[in-house]
Structure 1
Amino acid sequence: MGLLDGLLGNASESDAQELQQELTRLLATDERIEKAFVIIRDQLIFTNKRLILVDKQGMTGKKKEFLSVPYRSIERFAMETTGHFDLDAELKIWVRGQTEPISKTFRNDRNIYDISKALADYAL
Structure 2
Amino acid sequence: MIDFQNGSFFKLGPANPADYHAELAPILIEGESLYLAFRGVRDSVLFTSKRLLTINVQGVTGKKRDYTSLPYSRIQAFSIETAGSFDLDAEVDLWFSGLGKVRLEFKGRVDIRSIGKLLGDHVL
- TM-score, length basis structure 1: 0.71
1:13, distance to aligned residue in structure 2 (A): 4.4
2:16 aligns with 14
Structure 2 CA distance for aligned equivalents of residues 85 and 48 of structure 1: 33
Structure 2 CA distance for aligned equivalents of residues 56 and 112 of structure 1: 24
Structure 2 CA distance for aligned equivalents of residues 73 and 85 of structure 1: 34
> CA 1:122 to 1:87, structure 2 compared with 1: closer, same or farther past 3 Å?
same
Q: Could you say which structure has the greater relative contact order, defined with CA pairs below 8 angstroms and 6 or more residues apart? A: 2
C-alpha contact 1:11 1:111 (8 A) present in aligned 2: no
Structure 1 CA distance for aligned equivalents of residues 96 and 114 of structure 2: 20
> CA 1:27 to 1:79, structure 2 compared with 1: closer, same or farther past 3 Å?
same
Two-structure CA RMSD over aligned residues (Å)? 2.4
1:35, distance to aligned residue in structure 2 (A): 0.4
2:116 aligns with 116
- TM-score, length basis structure 2: 0.71
Q: Secondary structure at the match of 1:51?
A: strand
Corresponding letter in the other structure for 1:72: S
Structure 2 CA distance for aligned equivalents of residues 12 and 54 of structure 1: 15
1:56 aligns with 57
| Identity fraction in percent | 35
Structure 1: unaligned runs, 5 residues or longer = 1-8
Structure 2: unaligned runs, 5 residues or longer = 1-10
Q: Which runs of 4+ in 1 moved over 6 A?
A: none
